[in-house]
Amino acid sequence: MEFEKRRQSSKKRKKHSWRFRIIMILFVLLLAAGGAFWFNRQGYQAKNPNDTAVTMVTVKDKASVKEIGAQLQKEGIIRNSRYFVSYANKYGAKDIAGGTYPLSQVQDIAEIYQELTEGSGAEPVLSSGYTFISNTKTAEQTAQTIADAAGVSKSDLLAAYSDSDLIAQAKKEYPQLFLNAKSDQTLYDFVYPGIYRFKKEKSAKDLVMTMLKQTNKTLKPYYAQLKANKIPASTAILLAENGGKKEFDRRLAFIKKIAPYSQSLQSQYGILASISIAQAIHESNWDDSALSSKYNNYYGVKTDDTTAGKSVVLQTQEVENGQTVTKNARFAVYDSYQDSMKAHAKTIANGNTWNANQFADVLAAKNYKDAAQALSTDGYATDPSYPKLIIQIIENWNLAQYDKN
């Protein structure tokens, strides 16, 4: 009798044990399924909602969604490329146009995909709570967007940009940001383009200081170079949507490369070094044109010489009767950038075959502003805005420092 009771008790324990095991297995399976669902859902969400930094991503034309996904993962914009590929395929895998896009870790997969399908030049697609400020727009153009996002008055915001007391406070708090600044600049000129997340600002002045704080943080890697070369922070800010720090370094390296030789040419031929450098920058698009990078022609010099290796025919744009027209033209080919710069200096100094004094006013100018204007009046350039462009380049990059031999 006792034995039978023990046997029945043992059977009950085994039965309960199997039930417990089954329940535990089901529980583990549910946890795994839930974890997989959560992890899969996380893959489509923003990688870091708190990192508002913008990365300019250049997508090749006709790139596949798989290639683009891999690129976005490599750039650190998304967690895993498979989520982008899955989303793109689910929603028709629309053609994504090649171009450069401002992207951020605060964007989820859907927002990134939408931006890429809108085409190059599109602003970041953002969820509520985030605001994008572009340096292609004026303070007036962006004021309402910023004011709405932060819950302040548009007129108060515009007034804050020029408030003398606030400017004094900003200069005291962020002295490096305002080093070498122009006297006529407002605080909006020091707002770094990008994504902002406004939270606790109670007034327009608080809002402006929040934006300047983010600008100061972003520009810290630039400050040593800006100070050493006496370049205003606004120059770095202008490059925010055109390559950022990498492009800033490339452009500064180009200046450092040709500046010593431009000073040598100033001593020999009398053309201001700042003018030689600025024209080389403008004509070659910072040594990014085919004419300069392949053929060492920094100034767009044309020629009638058809000797092999001495010239090349390329398309060019010129202003005729106020209209920009595209033409084919034959351009000179040089063995080195020094040869190109020397030929340019000799042209300014010696004029041309029909007028040896063609550019006498350029040589006579005692400062870069007069010299830039003389380039137009003496017939060097057909574009009426040419002097202004040259002056802007000189002032943005403090090229006048090289005029002092």
pLDDT on residue 38: 42
260 CB burial (10 A radius; 0-12, 13-18, 19+):
exposed
Type of residue at 63? A
CB of 258 closer than 8 Å to CB of 341: yes
> What residue spans of 332-381 are helical by DSSP H?
337-350, 360-364, 368-377
Six token digits for residue 250? 């490339």
Listed range (23-32, 302-311, 336-345, 379-388) with the worst mean pLDDT: 23-32
Listed range (72-76, 123-127, 228-232, 283-287) with the worst mean pLDDT: 123-127
Q: Please enumerate in sequence order all residues whose Cβ is within 8 A of that of 140, keeping only pairs 6 or more positions apart, or say none.
A: 158
pLDDT on residue 21: 66
Q: Please enumerate in sequence order all residues whose Cβ is within 8 A of that of 245, keeping only pairs 6 or more positions apart, or say none.
A: 221, 222, 236
pLDDT (tens digit per residue) in 234-282: 999 999 888 889 999 999 999 999 999 999 999 999 999 999 999 999 9
Six token digits for residue 317? 């744009």
Helix (H, G, I), strand (E, B) or coil at 324: strand
The per-residue pLDDT of the chain, averaged, comes to 88
pLDDT (tens digit per residue) in 180-211: 998 889 999 999 999 999 888 889 999 999 99
pLDDT on residue 150: 87
Pick the CATH number of 244-298+336-403 from 1.10.530.10, 3.40.50.300, 2.60.40.10, 2.40.37.10: 1.10.530.10
Handedness of CA 37, 43, 49, 50 (dihedral sign): positive
For the cut 70, the answer to whether the pLDDT of residue 2 exceeds it is no
Six token digits for residue 29? 């399976």
Q: What residue spans define the domains of the chain?
A: 1-44, 54-118, 137-231, 244-298+336-403
CB of 280 closer than 8 Å to CB of 300: no
Which band of pLDDT confidence, cut at 50, 70 and 90, is reported for residue 9?
low
pLDDT on residue 26: 63
CB of 273 closer than 8 Å to CB of 265: yes
Which residue has better confidence, 260 or 26? 260
For the cut 70, the answer to whether the pLDDT of residue 349 exceeds it is yes
Distances (CA, A) of 252 to 204, 210, 221, 226, 264: 36, 29, 14, 10, 19
CB of 394 closer than 8 Å to CB of 278: yes
Six token digits for residue 355? 């007028």
For the cut 50, the answer to whether the pLDDT of residue 3 exceeds it is no
| Within this chain, domains 54-118 and 244-298+336-403 share the same CATH topology | no
- CA neighbor of 96 nearest in space, from 66, 123, 59: 59
Listed range (66-75, 114-123, 311-320, 360-369) with the worst mean pLDDT: 311-320
Over the range 111-140, which residues count as b (16 or more CB within 10 Å of their CB) and which as e?
Answer: bbbbbbbeeeeebbbbeeebbbbebeeebe
> Residue 153 and residue 150: Cα distance in Å, rounded?
9
Residue range 54-118 forms a domain whose CATH class is: alpha beta
Six token digits for residue 328? 């084919």
For the cut 70, the answer to whether the pLDDT of residue 121 exceeds it is yes
Element (H, E) at 315: strand 311-320
